Amino acid sequence: MWNLSTYKDHTALVDEKGEVWTYARLAQAAGELAEHVPQRCLVFSLCSNSPGSVVGYVAFLNHRIVPLMLDRHVERALLDSFTETYRPCYLWLPQEDSTGFRGEPVYSAHGYTLLKRTEERPFPLYDELALLLTTSGSTGSPKLVRQSYENIAANTRSIVEYLELDVTERAITTLPMNYTYGLSIINTHLHVGASLILCPYTVMQREFWDLFAEQHATSFGGVPYTYEMLDKLRFFQRKLPSLRTLTQAGGKLLPQMHKKFAEYARREGKRFIVMYGQSEATARMAWLPADKALEKCGSMGIAIPGGRFHLLDENGLEIQTPHTVGELLYEGKNVTLGYAQCGDDLGRGDEFGGRLLTGDMATFDEDGFYTIVGRKKRFLKIFGNRVGLDETERLLKAHFPGLECACAGKDDAMHVFITEKDACAAVKEFLAEKTRLNSTAFHVLAVEEIPKNDAGKIQYAALEQYHD
Amino acid sequence: MTNEEKYTKAFMQAFDIDAENVRTLEFQAIPAWDSVGHMGLVAALEEAFDIMLEPDDIVDMSSFARGKELLAKYGITF
């Protein structure tokens, strides 16, 4: 996947203490780890923004070992269900978290441990399968996205091209590695021999800004909520001479926020680049060039190099007229192989065939710039994470037997309607725990009854009065 | 309400916890106090004391105890 030897003495990684990892060191560490995994197999990689986590990722991808990327703090019950469903042969996880897992520690380095599980019946892996990511794994669904080596290589090439990345870049991490957007930053920077500043802190911590300044970060990415936080921190007044580029993805930024950051970037001579993507398309599908950030405020731009958009009407016919709403279809080599919902699916080949119906409703203007206007599927993006509304309802019903509930809302704010007043606090707590998202995202409201039509279908429109 | 009470109440409100668990609290010690929760805390404190926190103070407010020290700058004493 990466030709690390090309960039030998360049800095690949800098950790939170300022310790430098050259490409040579990264290559060596990855090689050592890979020696302990004798053949192509499935590994669960519990990710954090740390050298150990990156060493694992690089070792697995460069040696055709297939990782499922999970957050280090993944809920244990969810992890156990993934393990049961997909039967990994190894776990690569922070050493301090490794007790309490069955498996033999076969190698430890850089704060991480490789645990070998006794797995007698691993599932066959499709030859081109490179890695697995969760979709809305937080709600307990075992559904994964299957990405191929070619998907990652193609998307990496496109991103490097449009962001014009080179060896002088120093990106500071703001997103988890198991999150497709965070991973794409790692992929692209390693591809060009640039540096990654691995930061375990959030923008709300002084340590983040200290590391940013000390390590002369040139770029970072953020989901809409990151930009809300930056705005609150009066980011625009901060002197960040090393900063060149700010990217945004993981949901649609409010147009006024888009404008604020675009104006800041113009004033300060920096680039603010809004992007659009999904893990089903490896990472990125569209980008709004920095010089159009103000003029096309609110738009997510144009297809990335090598990709193409189409808009389809209700009959599946291509829309030719600007400002007409249709479902967005994307074509490109970064469209992933498909989903996995059970162990046998790991052996499946390409099912998407390079075409992805995104489920997003969009329009294009006379210049061919696309704007997302809505969503066909029932899910929200909460702090950049996809959370399925129907899945959440199922999760609640399973945990609270007899509970009547309906989930709706907008990004960063889910509204949960229940008919039992006394259960509000428990529902909120349960959702925060299950999704690992801050409980302030969940607004639980008791109503007299959940409105339904004669067929028993929930009438979500009738609930809108409560949340708009 | 005393400043101590107002301050404690802002934490309780932001993180949905009881008074006895508040005093030793630090950033990321509980799931509720992550970066999102921090935004809520800042809003709660700004409203309780009718102040606007400086960005440097927002990123420095890493614990219940540290927050009190920082508020001194805004003329709030405990």
Domain boundaries, chain A: 149-331+349-377, 379-466
Contact A432 B32 (CB under 8 A): yes
Residue carrying structure tokens 């603010």: A272
Average pLDDT over residues A424-436: 92
Give the residue-averaged pLDDT of A37-53. Answer: 97
Residues of A in contact with B59 (CB under 8 A): 204-206, 208-209, 233
Chain B residues closer than 8 Å to A203 by CB? 35
As a whole number, mean pLDDT of residues A69-98 equals: 94
CB contact B39 to A (< 8 Å): yes
Nearest to A133 by CA among A196, A74, A200: A74
Per-residue pLDDT band at A408 (split at 50, 70, 90): very high
Chosen from B59, B63, B70 to mutate, greatest number of chain A CBs within 10 A: B59
pLDDT category at A429 given cuts 50, 70, 90 is very high
User: Is residue A138 over pLDDT 70?
Assistant: no
Residue A320, pLDDT > 80, answer yes
| Residue A82, φ and ψ in degrees, nearest 5 | -60, -40
Q: Which of A105-109, A357-361, A394-398 has the lowest mean pLDDT?
A: A394-398
A149-331+349-377, which class in CATH? Answer: alpha beta
Say if B63 is an interface residue toward chain A (CB within 8 Å): no
Contact A202 B60 (CB under 8 A): no
Share above pLDDT 90 across residues of chain B, in percent, rounded to a whole number: 86
Q: Is pLDDT above 80 for A137?
A: no
Chain B: give the shortest CA distance to residue A438, in Å. Answer: 6
Same fold, A149-331+349-377 and A379-466: no
Distance, in Å, from the CA atom of A190 to the CA atom of A222, rounded to the nearest integer, reads: 19
Q: How far is CA A395 from the centre of its chain?
A: 22
A227 interfacial to chain B (CB closer than 8 Å): no
Q: Say what percent of chain A tops pLDDT 70.
A: 99
pLDDT for res A97 = 93
ipTM of the complex: 0.91
Nearest CA in chain B to A233: B55
Q: What is the pLDDT of residue A468?
A: 61
Please state the rounded mean pLDDT for residues A318-329.
97
pLDDT for A456 beyond 80? yes
Q: Which CATH architecture has domain A379-466?
A: 2-Layer Sandwich (3.30)
Q: What is the 3 state secondary structure string of A31-75?
A: HHHHHCCCCCCEEEEEECCCHHHHHHHHHHHHCCCEEEEEECCCC
Split at pLDDT 50, 70, 90, the class of A377 is: confident
Nearest to A439 among B16, B27, B42 (CB): B16
Q: B-chain residues within 8 Å CB-CB of A229?
A: 35, 39
The segments of chain B whose pLDDT lies below 70 read none
Least CB–CB distance from B27: residue in A205, A228, A383: A205
Cβ distance A233 to B32 less than 8 Å, yes or no, reads no
| 3 state DSSP class of A117 | coil
Residue entry with tokens 């929200």: A380
Give the three-class secondary structure for A30. Answer: helix
- pLDDT per position as a tens digit, A190-246: 999 999 999 999 999 999 999 999 999 999 999 999 999 999 999 998 889 999 999
The per-residue pLDDT for A141 is 74
CA-CA distance, A362 to A252, in Å (whole number)?
Answer: 12
Q: What is the pTM of this model?
A: 0.92
Residues in chain B: 78
Identify residue A246 by its one-letter amino acid code: L
State residue A140's pLDDT score: 63
pLDDT, one tens digit per residue, over A246-272 is 999 999 999 999 999 999 999 999 999
**Among B34, B38, B55, whose Cβ lies nearest the Cβ of A234?**
B55
Helix (H, G, I), strand (E, B) or coil at B40: helix
Asked if residue A88 lies in contact with residue A44, where contact means CB atoms within 8 angstroms, the answer is: yes
| Cα distance between residue A206 and residue A53, in whole Å | 23
Task: Test B60 with A206 for CB contact under 8 angstroms.
Answer: yes
pLDDT of residue A139: 64
pLDDT of residue A45: 98
pLDDT of residue B49: 97
Does B53 reach chain A within 8 Å, measured CB to CB? no
